[in-house]
């Protein structure tokens, strides 16, 4: 009888890839986890219990066939594992690096619930696809037949790129318009290299270009080209702009020099990683070197900011968050990584104002406690009277989340319907908006969300657009 290759979670313990020491990590922007060796990847994949109801798969937004590609990895069938992974996920090597697996697939693993430690799904996914690139298994899309229809995609982030890939595989002509000088959106300029090294993103974009996707960069829709002009050039349009308007903080002193937005801070750092000249970084405005840094917020963007500040040489890095550790939205794995690197988390605190003459010198901090649950079920923070204190700071980074830009106004398209939050209103099954032939995906529909959800939306919208393009013109216009 053949030896059982799976269900080894009882005899084999969970083991993540080796993590570089915190001292070494503080000195560079390299990814912090080593790669699995082939035997270790197979060993960890073999821990999967192959359960009848795979909660890892059902809790993955892309519904990746995780149990099957784990089994293929455990039995040495890596090319098949990659092909199965790629079938549902346009960018598995990116998701393997940046998805909050502790909140999605791994957090819902059956053997994790049974106390044996989750299968290291993300690390195996990363190993599979990195191996596929090394072996030359990842190839540009080669449609069997070119089609005459064209689609314009506004936004070269994960949702737009996922849709572009799927449409090109079907032979559709695709042009992607983006405001930045490089494609990738937040994958390129928002997420630091120590979580997602930029060559990983650039090679996917190069592959899309090799497949025939056209990129129009440094193009701000509404200024460099009108939305109506894009609609006129293409048979269908996909809006995948993301949300880039930073939430602000109304507090005394909020306009002082040295109080900056997270997106500006992270973009400057990522541009430096490309070797760009960044005046705001070189002047010290968006550089934490030698400074006492305070980051305000509790999401993944705040985690990126504190860990970037450590690498820039900050003398101290503190994060203020109004709830406690158990109620913060950011990944707990990221919190642990940040703590190892020297970040201090100051739970149950919020800024009341900022001190300083021309430049910020400190934050007036209010202490909080958790009260009754709010509308979302989370316990609402309440102010503790008389417990304020002063926190010295030379650089304050606001990581308070993002809101959608007013696209109907910016694009002079009032007939584009939005919700009361400013996100684009669309049919959630087809992603079709109020405008014929116009679709929308990702954060501009959901609000600030995860990369994996943007990929899912992009793939689904591409399928809906293919159906739309195949209809007679009279039907499509309805």
Using a pLDDT cut of 70, give the percent of the chain over it: 98
List pLDDT tens digits, range 425-440.
Answer: 999 999 999 999 999 9
Q: What is the mean pLDDT of residues 264-288?
A: 97
pLDDT at 149: 97
pLDDT at 473: 62
Predicted structure pTM score: 0.94
pLDDT at 1: 38
Burial zone of 135 (CB within 10 Å; 0-12 exposed, 13-18 middle, 19+ buried): exposed
List pLDDT tens digits, range 308-337.
Answer: 999 999 999 999 999 999 888 888 889 999
Q: What is the mean pLDDT of residues 54-79?
A: 96
Q: Tell me how far apart the alpha carbons of residues 347 and 367 are, in angstroms, rounded to a whole number.
A: 9
pLDDT at 475: 55
Question: Looking at residue 352, what DSSP letter applies?
Answer: E
pLDDT at 444: 97
How many CB atoms are closer than 10 A to CB 133? 15
Pairing of strands 245-246, 389-392: unpaired
List pLDDT tens digits, range 386-419.
Answer: 999 999 999 999 999 999 999 999 999 999 999 9
pLDDT at 3: 65
Q: What is the dihedral of CA 291, 296, 301, 306, to 10 degrees?
A: 30
pLDDT at 476: 55
List pLDDT tens digits, range 205-264.
Answer: 999 999 999 999 999 999 999 999 999 999 999 999 999 889 998 899 999 999 999 999
Question: Does residue 154 contact residue 242 with C-beta atoms inside 8 Å?
Answer: no
Q: What is the mean pLDDT of residues 168-178?
A: 98
Q: Tell me how far apart the alpha carbons of residues 98 and 184 are, in angstroms, rounded to a whole number.
A: 14
Residues of the chain with CATH 1.10.1060.10: 22-135
List pLDDT tens digits, range 12-41.
Answer: 889 999 999 999 999 999 999 988 989 999
Question: Looking at residue 424, what DSSP letter applies?
Answer: B
Angle of CA points 33, 34, 38, to nearest 5°: 130
pLDDT band at 65 (very low <50, low <70, confident <90, very high): very high
CATH of 246-402, one of 3.30.565.10, 1.10.287.70, 3.30.930.10, 3.50.50.60: 3.50.50.60
pLDDT at 112: 86
Q: How high is the mean pLDDT of the chain?
A: 94
In the chain, % helix, strand, coil (3-state, to 5) comes to: 35, 15, 45
CATH class of this structure's domain 22-135:
mainly alpha
pLDDT band at 478 (very low <50, low <70, confident <90, very high): low
Architecture of the 150-243+404-476 domain: 3-Layer(bba) Sandwich (3.50)
Question: Looking at residue 9, what DSSP letter applies?
Answer: T
Q: What is the mean pLDDT of residues 114-125?
A: 93
pLDDT at 5: 84
Pairing of strands 349-355, 362-373: antiparallel
Residues of the chain with CATH 3.50.50.60: 150-243+404-476, 246-402
Burial zone of 440 (CB within 10 Å; 0-12 exposed, 13-18 middle, 19+ buried): buried
Q: Tell me how far apart the alpha carbons of residues 316 and 337 are, in angstroms, rounded to a whole number.
A: 16
- Tokens 């090799």 found at: 210
Question: Does residue 211 contact residue 168 with C-beta atoms inside 8 Å?
Answer: yes
The helix (H) or strand (E) run that includes residue 383 is strand 379-383
Using a pLDDT cut of 90, give the percent of the chain over it: 87
Pairing of strands 316-321, 292-296: parallel
Look at residue 351 and tell me whether its pLDDT is greater than 80. yes
């Amino acid at each position: 009888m053949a030896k059982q290759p799976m269900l080894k979670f009882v005899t084999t313990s969970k083991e993540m890839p080796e993590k570089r020491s915190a001292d070494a990590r503080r000195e560079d922007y390299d990814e912090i986890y080593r790669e699995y060796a082939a035997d270790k990847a197979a060993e960890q994949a073999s821990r999967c219990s192959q359960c009848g109801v795979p909660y890892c798969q059902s809790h993955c937004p892309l519904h990746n066939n995780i149990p099957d590609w784990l089994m293929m990895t455990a039995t040495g069938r890596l090319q098949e594992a990659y092909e199965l992974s790629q079938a549902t996920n346009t960018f598995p090597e990116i998701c393997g690096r940046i998805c909050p697996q502790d909140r999605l697939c791994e957090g819902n693993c059956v053997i994790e619930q049974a106390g044996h430690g989750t299968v290291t799904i993300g690390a195996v996914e990363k190993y599979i696809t990195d191996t596929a690139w090394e072996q030359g298994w990842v190839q540009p899309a080669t449609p069997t037949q070119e089609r005459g229809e064209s689609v314009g995609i506004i936004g070269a982030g994960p949702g737009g790129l996922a849709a572009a890939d799927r449409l090109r595989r079907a032979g559709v002509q695709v042009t992607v318009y983006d405001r930045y000088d490089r494609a990738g959106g937040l994958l390129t300029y928002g997420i630091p290299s120590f979580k997602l090294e930029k060559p990983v993103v650039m090679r996917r974009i190069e592959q899309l270009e090799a497949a025939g996707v056209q990129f129009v960069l440094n193009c701000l829709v509404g200024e460099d080209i009108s939305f109506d002009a894009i609609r006129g050039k293409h048979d269908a349009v996909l809006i995948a702009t993301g949300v880039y308007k930073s939430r602000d903080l109304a507090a005394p002193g909020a306009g002082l020099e040295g109080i900056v937005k997270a997106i500006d801070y992270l973009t400057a750092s990522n541009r430096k990683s490309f070797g760009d000249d960044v005046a705001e970084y070189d002047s010290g405005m968006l550089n934490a070197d030698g400074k006492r840094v305070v980051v305000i917020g509790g999401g993944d963007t705040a985690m990126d900011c504190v860990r970037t500040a450590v690498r820039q040489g900050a003398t101290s890095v503190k994060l203020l968050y109004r709830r406690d550790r158990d109620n913060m939205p950011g990944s707990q794995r990221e919190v642990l990584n940040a703590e190892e690197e020297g970040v201090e988390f100051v739970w149950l605190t919020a800024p009341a104002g900022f001190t300083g003459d021309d430049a910020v010198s400190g934050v007036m901090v209010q202490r909080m406690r958790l009260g009754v649950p709010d509308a979302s079920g989370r316990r609402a923070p309440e102010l503790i009277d008389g417990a304020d204190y002063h926190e010295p700071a030379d650089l304050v980074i606001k990581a308070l989340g993002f809101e959608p830009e007013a696209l109907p106004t910016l694009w002079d398209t009032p007939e584009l319907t939005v919700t009361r939050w400013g996100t684009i209103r669309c049919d959630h099954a087809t992603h079709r908006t109020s405008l014929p032939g116009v679709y929308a995906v990702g954060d501009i529909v959901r609000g600030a969300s995860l990369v994996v959800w943007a990929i899912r939306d992009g793939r689904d919208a591409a399928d809906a657009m293919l159906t739309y393009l195949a209809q007679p013109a009279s039907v499509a216009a309805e």
